[in-house]
Amino acid sequence: MTREQFISNVESTQEALRRFLAALCCGDSQLADDVAQEAYLKAYIACGNFRKIESFKSWIFRIAFNVFIDLRRSARAFVNYDELREAPASEAADSHFRYQELYAALTQLPAKERTSVLLYYMEGYSVKEIAEIVESSQEAVRQHLARGRNHLRGMLSNSEKE
Amino acid sequence: MDDDKIRDLFRTFQPELTSECGFLSRLEDKMKAIDMVKRQIADMRRRNRIAVAVAAVSGFVVGVVLTLLMPMILDWSTTVNLSVPRLGIPEVNVDMHVVCWTLMAAVCVLTVYGSYELTVAGLSRKAESVAYGSRR
């Protein structure tokens, strides 16, 4: 893949990737940007050997997911549920507040479940494609989705009652 | 809440993003830095390949020349041996062939090492002057 091809692929995928990562990072768009930047740079370093241009989007999502997991392992700058609840009003507060319950519900999901749910509902990926991105079996992804759905249902119906 | 409700929830879900231009320009800057490092690594590899080739050729040439000169060197060493005054030290029987071949090997190794270092230094200096010139 040439530099120009890479840039055009970045331009066509960056919005979806950043949106997915923002949801994965529970609304922390700065952290999402950092993960996206690192993922694109890793892809750029390795893109000389990448041939399947048509599957660039899945490839970059897989890299971004791995970067996110690495970042989580290093346990830096990660928003938790309590922080989210006690977050003071900021410039982006309106949109953040709008999705606060959803973010809070997503924060409770383990990384793989959250990723599977987001890829399935936000990006419209199939179970097979998600399995490739998160490097799990299709059966495992189905289980992640079922658990994630139950989790979300429980959390969101509780918040509706409140 | 059924599956459709979750689907609807995500359909209207638009997380806040930072500016697209800012993101792309930051990425472009980092890509330029990576390009520069890639270029430098490629240049270094090229210089190294040239230096290895020069060192191999010079080592081979010196080896061939010394091998051709070996009969003369052996004659010269016997003459030197004969002309050395006797100092009452018990004579040690040294095989001059072994000494000459060992010396020749040492000269070849030194030539290879020296020409490699000189070539790398020369090419690096040239690259630096080109970069400095282009920067000016």
Pick from B126, B127, B118: which is nearest to B51 by CA? B118
> With an 8 Å Cβ cutoff, is A19 touching chain B?
yes
Is the distance from CB of A20 to CB of A14 less than 8 angstroms? Answer: no
Q: Report how far residue A111's alpha carbon sits from residue A84's, in angstroms, rounded to the nearest whole number.
A: 17
pLDDT in tens, B23-48: 888 999 999 999 999 888 998 999 99
Q: Does A18 touch chain B (CB under 8 A)?
A: yes
ipTM over 0.85: no
Q: Is A141 in contact with A113 (CB distance < 8 Å)?
A: no
What pLDDT is attached to residue A47?
A: 83
Instruction: Note whether A72 contacts B: Cβ–Cβ < 8 A.
Output: no
Q: Is B6's Cβ below 8 Å from some Cβ in A?
A: yes
pLDDT the model gives residue B18? 81
Q: Please name the residues in contact with B68: beta carbons below 8 A apart, sequence gap of 6 or more.
A: none
B52 falls in which pLDDT band (50, 70, 90)? very high
Rounded to whole angstroms, the maximal C-alpha distance in chain B is 111
Q: Which residue of B has its CA nearest to A94?
A: B16
pLDDT of A73 above 90: no
Q: Once rounded to an integer, what is the mean pLDDT over residues B13-26? A: 84
Asked if the model's pLDDT at residue A98 lies above 80, the reply is no
The answer to whether the Cβ–Cβ distance between A15 and B24 falls below 8 Å is no
Q: Cα(B84)–Cα(A131) distance, rounded to whole angstroms?
A: 85
Out of A24-38, A60-74, A101-115, B89-103, pick the least confident: B89-103
Nearest CA-CA distance, residue B30 and chain A, Å = 8
Mean pLDDT (whole number) for A61-83: 73
| Interface probe, candidates A9, A12, A40, chain B, greatest B C-beta count within 10 A | A40
Alpha-carbon gap: A135 to the closest alpha carbon of chain B (Å): 24
Contact A149 B6 (CB under 8 A): yes
Query: What band does B119 get if pLDDT is binned at 50, 70 and 90?
Result: very high
Chain A: closest CA distance from residue B47 (Å):
22
Tell me which residues of chain A, numbers 143 to 162, contact chain B at a CB-CB cutoff of 8 Å: 149, 152-153, 156-157, 160
Nearest to A53 by CA among A2, A17, A18, A16: A2
CB contact under 8 A, B17 and A153: no
What is the average pLDDT value for chain A, to the nearest integer?
80
Q: CB neighbours (10 Å) of residue A130?
A: 27
- Between B92 and B112, whose confidence is greater? B112
A79 interface with B at CB cutoff 8 Å? no
Residue located via tokens 């970042």: A71
Angle between helices A3-24 and A111-121 (to 10 degrees): 110
d(CA B20, CA A37): 12
Q: What percent of chain A has pLDDT over 90?
A: 19
A35 CA to centre of own chain = 10
Would an 8 Å CB–CB cutoff place B64 in contact with chain A? no
Amino acid at A61: F
